[in-house]
Amino acid sequence: MRQWDKLFYHQSLKTKWTLSTAIVIFISYAAICIVIYIALYSWLLQNEENNAMRTADDLTAFLQSQRGSITIQEIQSNTGLLKAIVNQNQTVRIFNFDGYEVLRINDFSPSAKIDLSDESFLTTITKDEVKEDVFVIHRLVQIGSFQGILQLIHPLSTFQSMMQYVLTAMLIAGIGAVFLAGSISYYLANLLIKPLKDLRDSMDTVRDKGFEEQINFSYNADDEIGDLLTIYRNMMAELQQSFLKQQQFVSDASHELRTPIQAIEGHLSLIKRWGKNDPQVLEESIDTSLSEVARMKKMIEELLDLARNEKKDANATATIETVLGSVQTELQLIYPEAEIVIESSGKQKQVKITENALEQIIRNLIENGIRYNDKKPIIHVHVNYEDDKLILTIADNGIGIAKEHLPHIFDRFYRVDASREHNGGTGLGLSITKMLTEKYSIDMDVKSKLGEGTKFILKFKI
Ligand code: ADP
């Protein structure tokens, strides 16, 4: 049995399906046939027995009614009346008590043995199977002065051929049903398994040749398989996009890192050639190289921040005023000329974000307002608590961002004016800000006017 299980287990899904359907249909059909056959068999056999009994009863009733008025000789010479009672294929014999046959109507079956010693032979109906399948009924009869035994033999050949016919019909219909069920389930299995095969082929192709070589599925039905294919398609599209993004990110990162390295390389060669004798070249080159190294260090830190994309801390809370205070102190040290004005309205509440992430977001936005500014930087920060939200606005009086650049400022490595590289910008600050706001479900909006300034509006859920 285990071997059969193993054999079945390793068959294709199509074979399993076809085989199981055929087997289940065959077993159900066989069970129904067996029940019908047994019921039909007992019903028809009972019918035959009733027929035989009825003839025997009719014969004895007739002879009883003629008791005194007719002799055995008269019946012998005229069997017409008895023949009318007896069915065509039944045989009737009358014996005297010595076992001598005195009368016979029809002769389809040979006589059956009469065992006078067994008292019950008169009351039972026996099924004699020695010569052929027949019912035998015995009755005591009296005709005039004659007393004897009437023997009725009822053959079961019609019943048997009928049962044989039923059995053959059932077998033929059964084999037909199994073949039909097998073919239909094979067709259905083919129909339903084809998309799964396509899916497997598509996965194989993607594994071997990459995302470009995807198979298009023709199966569009609105069922579980259709759902599976749609999920697979969407998943592949997402994977492909994230794969492309990753490739783009790696190529952008290496390109961006190459620029400061090339600058440092250039300055080192300059020092090697002229710097030893020219202290001015030496000083300038070392300064530029150091600032490039600082920029590279910042970029690497930011890249690591983006790549790490740490999991959201669902239980974290932070007080915005505390974070604003520490960022303000830190930035005032770096940019003493800048003015950072913080105002707050409404009842103070905590927001669901880690202090570290909130600090990064606020520092990036305020620092950008200071860096991208050609006047004395004044940054207005306003914290407004409402019922279920907190609105934080950071507005600067800087150079502003042109309309066409606004949709791209959150893209990685995007810089509006690459020539302002001396600002130490990497084009990653706002990408990190966006990643953090998305992670903590903070709604971020930006409004800007060239020459007037930029305003970032952040909505936190409380
Ligand atoms: P970076 O690190 O180079 O500053 P960001 O991602 O922070 O990169 O910003 C992307 C670009 O958006 C910057 O190069 C700058 O041109 C523009 N930008 C960002 N914030 C401001 C602002 N407050 N005012 C004007 N321009 C800004």
Residue of minimum CA distance from atom 20 in ligand 1? 368
Ligand 1 atom at shortest distance from the alpha carbon of 400: 25
CB of 460 closer than 6 angstroms to any ligand 1 atom: no
- At residue 123 the predicted structure's pLDDT band, cuts being 50, 70 and 90, is low
Q: What pLDDT does residue 423 have? A: 61
- What is the layout of strands, in order, in the sheet containing 134-143? 101-105, 91-95, 146-155, 134-143, 125-128
Contact yes or no for 321/355 (Cβ under 8 A): no
Residue 298 backbone zone (phi > 0: left; psi -120 to 50: alpha; other: beta): alpha
Query: Separation of 395 CA from ligand 1 center, angstroms?
Result: 14
Q: What pLDDT does residue 1 have? A: 63
- At residue 129 the predicted structure's pLDDT band, cuts being 50, 70 and 90, is low
| CA 35/CA 41 separation, integer angstroms | 10
Q: What pLDDT does residue 422 have? A: 47
Ligand 1 atom at shortest distance from the alpha carbon of 430: 6
Q: What pLDDT does residue 65 have? A: 84
The percent of residues in the chain predicted with pLDDT above 90, rounded, is: 37
For the ranges 36-45, 95-104, 216-225, the maximum mean pLDDT occurs at 36-45
CB of 377 closer than 6 angstroms to any ligand 1 atom: no
Q: What pLDDT does residue 444 have? A: 96
For residue 421, is pLDDT > 60? Answer: no
Cβ burial 173-198 (10 Å sphere, 16+ → b, else e): ebeebbeebbeebbeebeebbebeeb
> 242: number of CA atoms within 13 Å, CB side?
6
Query: Separation of 316 CA from ligand 1 center, angstroms?
Result: 28
Tell me what the mean pLDDT of segment 348-367 comes to. Answer: 93
* pLDDT single digits (tens) 237-291: 898 888 888 888 888 888 888 888 998 999 899 888 887 788 888 888 899 899 8
Averaged pLDDT score across all residues of the chain = 87
Ligand 1 atom at shortest distance from the alpha carbon of 367: 23
For residue 99, is pLDDT > 90? Answer: no
Q: What pLDDT does residue 79 have? A: 81
| CA 195/CA 198 separation, integer angstroms | 5
Q: What pLDDT does residue 244 have? A: 87
* pLDDT single digits (tens) 153-208: 998 888 999 999 999 999 999 889 888 888 888 898 888 888 888 888 888 888 88
For residue 58, is pLDDT > 60? Answer: yes
Q: What pLDDT does residue 185 have? A: 86
CB of 454 closer than 6 angstroms to any ligand 1 atom: yes
The model's pTM: 0.57
Candidate of 361, 368, 412 to mutate for ligand 1, largest count of ligand atoms within 8 Å of Cβ: 368
CB of 393 closer than 6 angstroms to any ligand 1 atom: no
- At residue 134 the predicted structure's pLDDT band, cuts being 50, 70 and 90, is confident
Tokens representing residue 378 in the block: 């004044």
Residue of minimum CA distance from atom 16 in ligand 1? 416
Contact yes or no for 118/136 (Cβ under 8 A): no
For residue 460, is pLDDT > 80? Answer: yes
Tokens representing residue 379 in the block: 């940054």
Q: What pLDDT does residue 295 have? A: 85
SS3 labels along the chain: CHHHHHHHHCCCHHHHHHHHHHHHHHHHHHHHHHHHHHHHHHHHHHHHHHHHHHHHHHHHHHHHHCCCCCCHHHHHHCCHHHHHHCCCCCEEEEECCCCCEEEEECCCCCCCCCCCCCHHHHCCEEEECCCCCEEEEEEEEEECCEEEEEEEEEECHHHHHHHHHHHHHHHHHHHHHHHHHHHHHHHHHHHHHHHHHHHHHHHHHHHHHCHHHCCCCCCCCCCHHHHHHHHHHHHHHHHHHHHHHHHHHHHHHHHHHHHHHHHHHHHHHHHHHHHCCCHHHHHHHHHHHHHHHHHHHHHHHHHHHHHHCCCCCCCCCECHHHHHHHHHHHHHHHCCCCEEEEEEECCCCCECCCHHHHHHHHHHHHHHHHHCCCCCCEEEEEEEECCCEEEEEEECCCCCCCCCCHHHCCCCCCCCCHHHHHHCCCCCHHHHHHHHHHHCCCEEEEEEECCCEEEEEEEEEC
* pLDDT single digits (tens) 384-400: 999 889 999 999 999 99
